[in-house]
Amino acid sequence: MERLPVTGVVLAGGTSRRMGKDKAFLELGSRPLIAHVLDRMAGVCDEVLVVANDIPRYAGLGARVVPDVFPGVGVLGGLHAGLRAAQHDLILAVGCDMPFLNPDLLRAFAAWAEGYDVVALRRGEQVETLHAAYRRTCLPAMEAAIRAGERRIISFFPHVRVRYMAPEETEALDPGLRSFRNVNTPEEWEEVLRLLG
């Protein structure tokens, strides 16, 4: 299938405290987990980049690596850096620790973003901000939130056009919402390896 005129942004370089080691480099079939994530994104997105502050660590993965513009702001800072560095107006942002990414769902998120600045899955009160689409029009609101000391990603949502997807709309393409699973603990990683068989 043709790749979309969209930038895939893979957020890496978190602290991985609960895992005890860098999640991006957990080994899956003799390759690091992040390499599988990048492959999945490259099948959908015309450009793929990694946001990480330790550039040499990620340099050998075949994707451009960009650092945070506002270090120490967590995922919000990473999203901002990826959006600012992207060649395209729209990004699909995912974590480096998401082994079940579904190309059909990624494509759907890009399509659902027509006329919106953000598209994210909402389950009850929880908004899935990683595995979401963001448009460059978010940058001013993101920067204002960061300068105001905000760290929560959704802090800038009231200032942009957000489309919330319901679980049932998303599950039609992604049964069980597996795409949104990430890995935070050794137990979760064991479960992923079991599911991947």
Domain locations in the chain? Answer: 4-196
Query: What dotted CATH number matches 4-196?
Result: 3.90.550.10
3-state secondary structure of 115: coil
- The H or E element that residue 46 is part of is strand 45-51
Farthest-apart Cα atoms in the chain, separation: 46
Per residue in 54-100, pLDDT (tens digit) is 999 999 999 999 999 999 899 999 999 999 999 999 999 999 999 99
Contacts of 174 (CB under 8 A, 6+ apart): 102, 104, 105, 180
The Cα 125–Cα 141 span in angstroms is: 22
CA angle 98, 112, 115 (to 5 degrees): 130
Neighbouring C-alpha atoms within 13 Å toward the C-beta of 43:
13
**What predicted TM-score, i.e. pTM, was given to this entire model?**
0.95
Q: In Å, how far are 118, 169, 181 from 12, measured between CA atoms? A: 21, 28, 16
Tokens representing 88 are 């395209």
3-state secondary structure of 123: strand
Per residue in 134-149, pLDDT (tens digit) is 999 999 999 999 999 9
